[in-house]
Structure 1
């Protein structure tokens, strides 16, 4: 039998504009959508550090969806991680570790 993932922690609805501001201040923004298994994997993989990033639901914010599509060759691929200097889709354990490091580094800047 398969083990069910624990329910995702509820996140405040952070608008795209606030995510952009967070990134401009040196933080990490994560664009996600409900039901995305890779988003859940990233959330679990980050553990308590997940709370230090700004999470924006692309299904609730048209600007966020358009932004993610602009970064990913027209695709609304999530979870998309964004910093001042880079962006990538965090769909592997290595990318989750990279995201965790970026969040740790952002904590030193903020």
Structure 2
């Protein structure tokens, strides 16, 4: 995860820059079934977000914990205006709506 190797994998710093530029950042970790469901539900739309693995970037893990009452809960979706844990079955639709109006990510 993400299974799609084209999804833009970025560092915490790059994710925050993308969010500041009206983008969508998705924080995930390997083996997370909710992350897998979100990725599967987004399909090609997932290319428009940046993706940051919290197990590979300690700053990202700390940031996610700061947003979620001290818990490193994923998938956490972040925009300039909001953040939420995208674990519900309707999460792909919520994220797709955010991506429709967001600055697209550039692949790295």
1:38 aligns with 2:34: yes
Which residue matches 2:70?
74
Of 98, 102, 106, the residue aligned with 1:106 is 102
Q: Deviations over 1:40-97 (max 9, x none)?
A: 1000101100011000000000000000000000000000000000000001122221
Which TM-score applies when normalising by structure 1? 0.87
Q: Name structure 2 gaps, 5 residues minimum.
A: none
Structure 1: segments with no counterpart, 5+ residues? 1-6
TM-score in terms of structure 2 length: 0.88
Q: What is the alpha-carbon distance in structure 1 between the residues aligned to residue 9 and residue 21 of structure 2?
A: 19
Whole-angstrom CA distance in 2 between matches of 1:101 and 1:30: 14
Secondary structure (helix, strand or coil) at the match of 1:106 reads coil
Q: Which of the pair is proportionally richer in helix?
A: 1
Determine which structure has more spread, i.e. the larger CA radius of gyration. Answer: 1
